[in-house]
């Protein structure tokens, strides 16, 4: 599908986002292994989170929708799947679910699409193997994985890379293991798994980047609400900040402190963003955001900040090009192994729009004050690249086209409808 995006002067309106992708994956998996019924409201509509539900259904969980559209899951013991599990495009599904599969009394296989098949899995295979699992992968590290479940032992593991997916994989394996599991993080990563595990009834503590999960808990189904996805909100925040005139309210957004560094970073660059009606749901913070047009100074993303903003960097690169001083990103080699090599796909689409960018193996530098030219955008099947450049297109000097724009549906199928709703010429 090809989308055409016309330039917009004004961003205005009130929008509500589908549920957070990271939290939806975790609730879907935990509800399927918990005893009894869970009801999950505002579950992500993205294809990635549907892949998680598809896998859990293939593993025996009973999954339905109620009249209000909530996902209803009857969980319990999993059973051997009849065929290879399909994680689609979703790194979170394959990496986190591997932790659960490694502890089951059966063998399973899990794979995904072409992009997923190029993403490294050694980072989860190593700790799971140390816990006692036996896992085979294509060329030693790539999907599909064949996972021979075993009785696992708890582990004390220091993560070599800052990755919430790897941390979560180990903790999910730890739920079924004998003995406590400890994960030590080099840098703080999103803590939705820790929060969700506590909500489902495990004994888990976290202090100074050391997470300790006590063995032997029985997970119990429960009612949950998924806050809106801040990483999806980021595209609209950037659109509003770049517009000549903007007054946008984004309702019910997840504001977990391990994710909301985005807002601090934007505000530090001069963004006018206000958080309204902050409250909690199942241990997760949620609130409304009001954003208005702002003069953005530009800035540097490096170190722990890079980890905290990793999914938002494509949108921030676009904002950087329209900022006063530009944007520098360092310590971001992980970007090269996302759904695409995002340093390369940001660079190629910058060039298409006539924008300057200088890349490095682990980051890039974008000068500020640039003019965006109309172009044909090629997101290479990467949802966040498609959405970031749709926002760039609003600031272009003519209509832009986005080839294969349907890839936005991996995390945010409603994206282009909302964009049209809030953007005025």
298 vs 314 by CB, closer to ligand S3P: 314
Residue 310 in contact with ligand S3P, rule: CB under 6 A: yes
**Piece of 163-171, 200-208, 320-328, 368-376 that binds ligand S3P (CB under 6 A):** 163-171
**Piece of 4-12, 79-87, 157-165, 356-364 that binds ligand S3P (CB under 6 A):** 157-165
Decide: 214 and 198 in contact? Cβ < 8 Å.
no
- Per the residue annotation, which of 113, 191, 311, 382 is the catalytic one? 311
| CA–CA distance, 158 with 166 (Å, rounded to integer) | 11
**Three-class SS state of 196:** helix
Count the site residues for ligand S3P by CB under 6 A: 10
Residue 52 in contact with ligand S3P, rule: CB under 6 A: no
Closest distance between ligand S3P and the C-beta of residue 247, in Å?
29
Site for ligand S3P, residues 190 to 219, rule: CB under 6 A? 190
Q: Is 311 a catalytic residue?
A: yes
96 vs 423 by CB, closer to ligand S3P: 96
Q: 59-98 mask for ligand S3P (x: CB under 6 A)?
A: ---------------------------------x------
Closest distance between ligand S3P and the C-beta of residue 400, in Å?
25
Closest distance between ligand S3P and the C-beta of residue 44, in Å?
11
Closest distance between ligand S3P and the C-beta of residue 380, in Å?
17
Supply the DSSP symbol for 405.
G
Site for ligand S3P, residues 320 to 349, rule: CB under 6 A? 334
Supply the DSSP symbol for 20.
P
| CA–CA distance, 330 with 198 (Å, rounded to integer) | 34
Supply the DSSP symbol for 339.
S
Alpha carbon 421 to chain centroid distance?
A: 24
CA neighbor of 327 nearest in space, from 229, 236, 241:
241
Decide: 177 and 149 in contact? Cβ < 8 Å.
no
Decide: 231 and 415 in contact? Cβ < 8 Å.
no
Q: 12-41 mask for ligand S3P (x: CB under 6 A)?
A: ----------x-------------------
Closest distance between ligand S3P and the C-beta of residue 162, in Å?
7
**Three-class SS state of 223:** strand
**Piece of 110-118, 158-166, 176-184, 321-329 that binds ligand S3P (CB under 6 A):** 158-166
Among 168, 256, 294, 323, binds ligand S3P (CB under 6 A): 168
Residue 286 in contact with ligand S3P, rule: CB under 6 A: no
CA distances, 391 to each of 19, 187, 228, 319, 372 (Å): 21, 30, 19, 9, 11
Closest distance between ligand S3P and the C-beta of residue 297, in Å?
26
* Count of C-beta atoms within a 10 Å radius of residue 237: 27
Handedness of CA 130, 135, 136, 138 (dihedral sign): negative
Residue 163 in contact with ligand S3P, rule: CB under 6 A: yes
325 vs 334 by CB, closer to ligand S3P: 334
Supply the DSSP symbol for 96.
H
3 vs 311 by CB, closer to ligand S3P: 311
CA neighbor of 252 nearest in space, from 223, 224, 273, 281:
281
Q: Which residues pair with 401 in a beta bridge?
A: 4, 376
Closest distance between ligand S3P and the C-beta of residue 38, in Å?
19
User: Rounded to a whole number, what is the distance in angstroms from the first to the last CA of the chain?
Assistant: 23
Site for ligand S3P, residues 98 to 137, rule: CB under 6 A? none
Q: Which residues pair with 14 in a beta bridge?
A: 249
Closest distance between ligand S3P and the C-beta of residue 206, in Å?
15
| CA–CA distance, 378 with 390 (Å, rounded to integer) | 11
Which residues have C-beta within 8 Å of that of residue 77, sequence separation ≥ 6?
60
Among 86, 194, 311, 312, binds ligand S3P (CB under 6 A): 311
- Residues contributing to the site for ligand S3P (CB under 6 A): 22, 92, 163-165, 168, 190, 310-311, 334
Question: Which residues participate in catalysis according to the annotation?
Answer: 311
């Amino acid at each position: 599908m090809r989308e055409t995006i016309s330039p917009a002067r004004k961003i205005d309106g009130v929008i509500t986002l589908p549920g957070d992708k990271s939290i939806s994956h975790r609730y879907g998996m935990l509800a399927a292994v918990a005893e009894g019924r869970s009801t999950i409201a505002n579950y992500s509509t993205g294809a990635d989170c549907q892949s998680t539900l598809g896998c859990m259904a293939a593993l025996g969980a009973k999954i339905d929708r109620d009249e209000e559209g909530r996902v209803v899951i009857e969980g319990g013991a999993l059973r051997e799947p009849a065929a290879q599990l399909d994680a689609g495009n979703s790194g979170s599904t394959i990496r986190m679910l591997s932790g659960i599969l490694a502890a089951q009394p059966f063998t399973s296989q899990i794979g995904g699409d072409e992009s997923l098949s190029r993403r490294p899995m050694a980072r989860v295979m190593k700790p799971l193997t140390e816990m006692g699992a036996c896992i085979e992968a294509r060329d030693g590290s790539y999907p599909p994985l064949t996972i021979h479940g075993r009785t696992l032992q708890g582990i004390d593991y220091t993560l070599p890379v800052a990755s919430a997916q790897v941390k979560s994989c180990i903790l999910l394996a730890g739920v079924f293991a004998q003995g406590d599991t400890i994960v030590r993080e080099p840098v703080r990563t999103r803590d939705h798994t820790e929060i969700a595990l506590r909500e489902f009834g495990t004994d888990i503590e976290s202090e100074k980047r050391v997470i300790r999960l006590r063995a032997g808990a029985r997970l119990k189904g429960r009612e949950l609400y998924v806050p809106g996805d801040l990483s999806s909100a980021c595209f609209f925040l950037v659109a509003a900040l770049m517009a000549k005139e903007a007054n946008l309210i984004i309702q019910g957004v997840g504001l977990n402190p391990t994710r909301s560094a985005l807002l601090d970073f934007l505000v530090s660059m001069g963004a006018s963003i206000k958080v309204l009606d902050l409250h909690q749901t199942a241990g997760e913070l949620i609130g409304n955001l009001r954003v208005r047009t702002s003069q953005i100074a530009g800035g540097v993303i490096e170190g722990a900040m890079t980890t905290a903003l990793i999914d938002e960097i494509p949108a921030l690169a676009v904002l950087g090009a329209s900022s006063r001083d530009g944007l520098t990103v360092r310590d971001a080699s992980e970007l090269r192994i996302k759904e695409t090599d995002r340093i390369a796909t940001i660079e190629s689409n910058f060039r298409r729009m006539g924008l300057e960018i200088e890349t490095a193996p682990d980051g890039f530098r974008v000068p500020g004050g640039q003019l965006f030219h109309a172009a044909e955008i090629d997101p290479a099947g990467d949802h966040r690249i498609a959405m970031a450049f749709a926002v760039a297109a609003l600031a272009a000097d003519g209509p832009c086209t986005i080839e294969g724009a349907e890839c936005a549906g991996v995390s945010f199928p409603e994206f282009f409808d909302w964009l049209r709703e809030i953007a005025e010429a």
